[in-house]
Structure 1
Amino acid sequence: MRRMTIGLAIGALGAMSLATAAWTQISSSGEPFMVGADDLELIQADGLQIWRGRAEASQGENRLRAGEIRVYHQTRDGGFGAAERIEAIGEVFFVTPEQVARGDRAVYTAANNTLTVTGDVILRQGDNVLTGSNLSINIGTGRARMEGAPTGNAGRRVQGVFYPDRN
C-alpha cells in the first residue's frame, strides 16, 4: 500500500494554497482545477509536482489523463507560485465535450495557453477522425493545428476521415 508521509501532506497543502491563480489550465471555464493520482511527489526546490499512476486532471468538462502528470511552478517565498507548464506522459488523453485527442505526450504552456499533443496523435469528433504527429490546441480560442511527422519518420502525413452528415 502506498502512503504519503505527514510532512509530504503538509507540504502538499502548503503548495496548493500558494497556487490558486495557477490552476486554471485545461479549460477556459474558470472552474476549479482538480487533479488526482495514485501517488504525489513534491520537489519544492524545483517547483515541481509529479502525479503518478492513473493521473487525471479536470477542469469544467475538460479532462487530461495520463500515466504521469508533472506540474512545473514558479517558485515563490519557498513555495509554489503560478504553474508555468503541465506535462502529461504515457498514453495521454485530452477529452472535451466535443472531442477526444490521444497521443504519447502532452505539454500545456501557460504563457500561450496552448496544449500540444505529440506522438501517434488521433483526434476524434463524433465519427470524424484526424491523425498526425503533432496537435496544438489553444485552450482559450479553441484554434487547433495538426501536423504530420518529419520526413525522417516515414514521411507520415496528416490524414482524416470525415462524415459530412454526422457529428
Structure 2
Amino acid sequence: MMPRTLLALSLLLLAAPAWAQQKVEITADKFTIEETKREAVFDGNVVVKHPTVTVWAPHVVAVYGEGGTNDIKSFEATGDVKLETKDQVATGERAVFTPADQLLRLTGNVVVTNSGGTVNSPELVVNLETNVSTFTSSSGGRVTGVFNSQ
C-alpha cells in the first residue's frame, strides 16, 4: 500500500509547478487507487492543505496519463467545495484544475468573498499562469457583486 500512497501524493505534488516544491497534506475518510482508470480517488471529508490554499470537498479525483506522475491530466473536487487562502474564500459545487493549461474552474453557485466584498457567479475561471480571474454567467444568469466602501 505504501507505493500507491506515495504515487497519489506524488500526483498531487507534481500537478502544478507551484506545488512541486511544497508540502501538501491530504486527509480523507477513504483513499483508492484505480490503476486501470489511472485515478487516485479521495472520498469523505477530504482536506487538501497546501501552504497557500486549503481545499475541502466530499470527493477529489486526480487523473493521470500513461506517463504516471509526470502526466497529470486533471484534479477534480466535487460536492460542497471550499477553497480558502489567507485573503479570500471561494465556494462552489465543482472545482477542476488542469495543469496543461494552468486553469482552475470553479462552477455551480460560485461565491467568492474577501475584504473588498463578495462576487456571485455561475462560473469562475482562474488562469494561474497569467493571474487573470474571469467570472461568467450562463443561461440568462448574471454575475453580481457587493463591494465594501472604505
- When normalised by structure 1's length, the TM-score is 0.79
* Aligned position for 1:55: 46
Match status 1:129 vs 2:114 = no
Distance 1:112 1:69 in 2: 20
Partner SS for 1:101: strand
* Aligned position for 1:35: 26
Match status 1:15 vs 2:7 = yes
Partner SS for 1:75: coil
Higher mean alpha-carbon deviation, 10-19 vs 101-110, is at 10-19
Q: How does 1:148-163 map to 2 (within 5 A)?
A: 148-150=137-139, 155-163=140-148
Tell me, yes or no, if the aligned pair for 1:24 and 1:30 is still in contact at 8 Å: no
CA 1:32/1:141 → structure 2, altered by over 3 Å: closer, same or farther? farther
Partner SS for 2:71: strand
Shift of 1:14: 5.2
Extract unaligned runs of 5+ from structure 2: none
Distance 1:117 1:140 in 2: 16
Q: Which amino acid aligns with 2:92?
A: G
Q: Deviations over 1:113-166 (max 9, x none)?
A: 11100011101012500001000112344310001122xxxx22000000121x
* Aligned position for 1:72: 63
Q: Which amino acid aligns with 2:32?
A: E
Q: Which amino acid aligns with 1:162?
A: F
For residue 88 of structure 1, the aligned residue among 68, 77, 81 is: 77
Percent of aligned pairs sharing the same letter: 21
Q: Which amino acid aligns with 2:5?
A: L
Tell me, yes or no, if the aligned pair for 2:13 and 2:20 is still in contact at 8 Å: no
Partner SS for 1:45: coil
Structure exhibiting the larger radius of gyration computed from Cα positions: 1
Distance 1:17 1:58 in 2: 12
Distance 1:17 1:68 in 2: 16
Q: Which amino acid aligns with 2:100?
A: A
Tell me, yes or no, if the aligned pair for 2:13 and 2:19 is still in contact at 8 Å: no
CA 1:14/1:160 → structure 2, altered by over 3 Å: closer, same or farther? closer
Q: Which amino acid aligns with 1:22?
A: L
Tell me, yes or no, if the aligned pair for 1:29 and 1:59 is still in contact at 8 Å: no
Distance 1:49 1:61 in 2: 22
Superposition RMSD in Å: 2.3
Shift of 1:75: 2.8
Higher mean alpha-carbon deviation, 138-147 vs 93-102, is at 138-147
- When normalised by structure 2's length, the TM-score is 0.87
Partner SS for 2:66: strand
